[in-house]
Each structure stands twice: as C-alpha cells, then as structure tokens.
C-alpha cells in the first residue's frame, strides 16, 4: 500500500524564519509557498532526495497547527506516506482497525488528495496518507 515517505510535516511559528534555516543553513531550496485555506496553513515544501520537508505555519490562532504548537511546541507534526489510491488506502486502514480522522479524502497542498490516521491508532504518530501525481 505505502510507496515511500512522501514528506515530513514540521510545525513552525514563523515560516520565513524556518525557511531561512532550511535554505541558508541546510542548503535546501523551497519549491515555493502555498496557502491551504481548508487546513488554515501556509506551507513550503523543501525537496530532499525523493521526499520533502513540509513547513507549516498556521494562518489562524485556532488552526490545527497553532493548537499543535501551543500543546507541543514547534517540531515534527506528521509523517506523510505516498499511496497510489487514497480511497483504497482509507478502506484498507479501516478494514485493519485503524481509526481514521478522515473517512473520505480531502485536498491538501500541491493538489494532493490526503487523509489522516488518528494517532491513537498509530502509536502516537499523526500519519497522513497522500495521493499526488
């Protein structure tokens, strides 16, 4: 079902400051910024080999990333795994007893179709399943 680690999501308070670190210290290059209204975030993807780091900054004080940072501080927020068919992946996870946050796919950054697994079913890790072309 899983093809590869698609990206690692990192929650940050200030996207520009984080980009400065990733670009000027680590030498990565962002592939641009995107606002994802549904998720209440501004994101930047930084390719690393055949995976990416996704930096996420909340656009609203009540957004999920703002709440995550308030509770946990900045840092790794989720790991995304690439799947070929998101509907089949959701069905398979449910059949195997995994609790899903998203029963149906929704749209994420870069036009991806995504669904999150509840961390109580995945050993405390927020897992995103992602289908993108």
Tens digit of pLDDT for each residue in 3-16? 999 999 999 999 99
* SS3 letters across 29-93: CCCCEEEEHHHCEEEEEEEECCEEEEEEEECCCCCHHHHHHHHHCCEEEEEEEEECCHHHHHHHH
CATH code of the region 2-131: 3.10.180.10
The whole-number pLDDT of residue 133 equals 79
Average pLDDT on 21-27 reads 98
Cα separation, 121 vs 111, in Å, equals 26
Question: Chain-centre distance of CA 94, in angstroms?
Answer: 20
**pTM for the structure as a whole:** 0.95
Which among 102, 125, 126, 124 is positioned nearest to 113, based on CA atoms?
102
Is residue 63 within 8 Å of residue 41, measured between CB atoms?
yes
Tens digit of pLDDT for each residue in 37-77? 999 999 999 999 999 999 999 999 999 999 999 999 999 99
Tens digit of pLDDT for each residue in 72-123? 999 999 999 999 999 999 999 999 999 999 999 999 998 999 999 999 999 9
> How is the chain split into domains, by residue range?
2-131
């Amino acid at each position: 079902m899983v093809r590869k680690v698609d990206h690692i999501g990192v929650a940050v308070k200030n996207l520009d400051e984080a980009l400065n670190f990733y670009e000027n210290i680590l030498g990565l290059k962002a592939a641009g910024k995107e606002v994802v209204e549904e998720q209440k975030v501004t994101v930047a993807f930084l390719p690393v080999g055949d995976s990416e780091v996704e930096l996420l900054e909340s656009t609203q004080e009540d957004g999920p990333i703002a709440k995550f940072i308030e509770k946990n501080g900045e840092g790794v927020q989720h790991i995304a795994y690439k799947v070929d068919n998101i509907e089949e992946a959701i069905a398979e996870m449910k059949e195997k007893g995994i609790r899903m946050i998203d029963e149906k796919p929704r749209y994420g950054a870069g036009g991806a179709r995504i669904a999150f697994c509840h961390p109580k079913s995945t050993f405390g890790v927020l897992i995103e399943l992602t289908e993108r072309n």
